[in-house]
Amino acid sequence: MTQQTTEERIAFVDWIRVIACFMVMLVHASENFYGADDSGLAGNMAKLANESNRFWVAFYDGTVARTAVPLFVTISAFLLVPMKPGLSMGAFYKRRFLRILPPMFIFMLLYCFLPLAWGGMTWEASMADLRLLPWNFPSMAGHLWFMYPLISLYLIIPVVSPWLEKASAKDERLFLYIFAFSTLLPWLHRFVSQELWGECFWNGFHALWYCSGYLGYLVLAHYIRFHIHWTDSKRMHVGLWCFIIGAVFTSFWMKGVPGVAIETPMLEWSWEFCTPNVLLATFGLFLLFSTIHRPAPRIITSLANLSFGMYLMHLFFLAPIASYVIGGSVAEPLLPVWLAIPVIAVGTFVCCFITTKLITLLPGSKWIVGA
């Protein structure tokens, strides 16, 4: 979601930002069809109504859209790492955080209080959410979890940037091998042990802690930009196969049994962002996008510039649109599930674009939507 100036605009990055923003909405549109309660988004428990929902949720939430978050991380790192020469840590923090923190806090407050207007929450719940700020996101804004890993990445970029400037391709590959191995952890935690490599109730930092998580995608972005010098033909060939293999496996695990409640993390275990299959799919899709060299059309650059604000507000639109399309029954929505999910996502995307664009006409809009 990093803003680009005209001079440094990279065409395929704009495309990624727009597509990834839509993917986020597609993921949340899918969640309406396996949430175990009436909130729309998936909570701690999930339940699939029938086999059709089971298949299409896995297809859209897993195969099509699961790379959304890693793509956002990767393009941010692609543009920001290494840091510009002479840019201090303090200056970097000021520039990055002044862009994302004011809109983040404004929307946190909106998610705390705006649902009161239509009876979406009680005053007690609203005040409970307010007391939680800024320690965590409001209960009605689960998507804002991503802001905290993004803050973490911004904090670490000035630390790792000097190393990346000096590291050889071989050094970076070694780190990426360790990171790739660390992506097995979600599976090992579920099927081997909840405590691995030093983890216990008094220590949550395992042996691979500092080589795991979204930092790996940051290094991957730098490696792609500075050490992969493949032709477009090879990028397309390798990228397509990596995406297909990773995406198919991501969708393959369909643990849920229609009509039976299941813990949501168990249903989603193959969809986690730091798993081998999502890493492979992200790498492949990024390579495919990197073959785009023509400047993006104006509508795409406009959407890319507004993507941060669209992401922040999208749950305000997604919930009522989903409620209308579903029509009271996720088992028999007004539209067939294969069509309902993308219709919800497209409707949300269009409403967010129009609203964010109108907000940018106001003075000081950058403090609201970051654009």
pLDDT at 254: 64
Kindly report the pTM of this predicted structure.
0.92
Instruction: Report whether pLDDT(135) > 70.
Output: yes
The tens digit of pLDDT for each residue in 280-320 reads 999 999 999 999 999 889 999 999 999 999 999 999 999 99
The tens digit of pLDDT for each residue in 243-262 reads 999 998 887 666 678 888 88
* 106 Cβ neighbours under 8 A, 6+ residues apart: 367, 368
Instruction: Report whether pLDDT(6) > 70.
Output: no
Rounded to an integer, the average pLDDT of 85-89 is: 91
Instruction: Report whether pLDDT(1) > 70.
Output: no
pLDDT at 5: 45
pLDDT at 217: 95
Q: What percent of the chain has pLDDT over 90?
A: 70
CA 65, 12, 176: angle at the middle one, nearest 5? 65
Owner of token pair 């229609």: 258
Q: Could you write out the DSSP letters of every residue in 5-35?
A: -STT--HHHHHHHHHHHHHHHHHHHHHTTTB
Instruction: Report whether pLDDT(329) > 90.
Output: no
pLDDT at 252: 62
The tens digit of pLDDT for each residue in 162-181 reads 999 999 999 999 999 999 99
pLDDT at 176: 97
pLDDT at 243: 95
Instruction: Report whether pLDDT(321) > 90.
Output: yes
Structural contact between residues 143 and 311, judged by C-beta atoms closer than 8 angstroms: yes
Mean pLDDT for the chain?
90
Q: What percent of the chain has pLDDT over 70?
A: 94
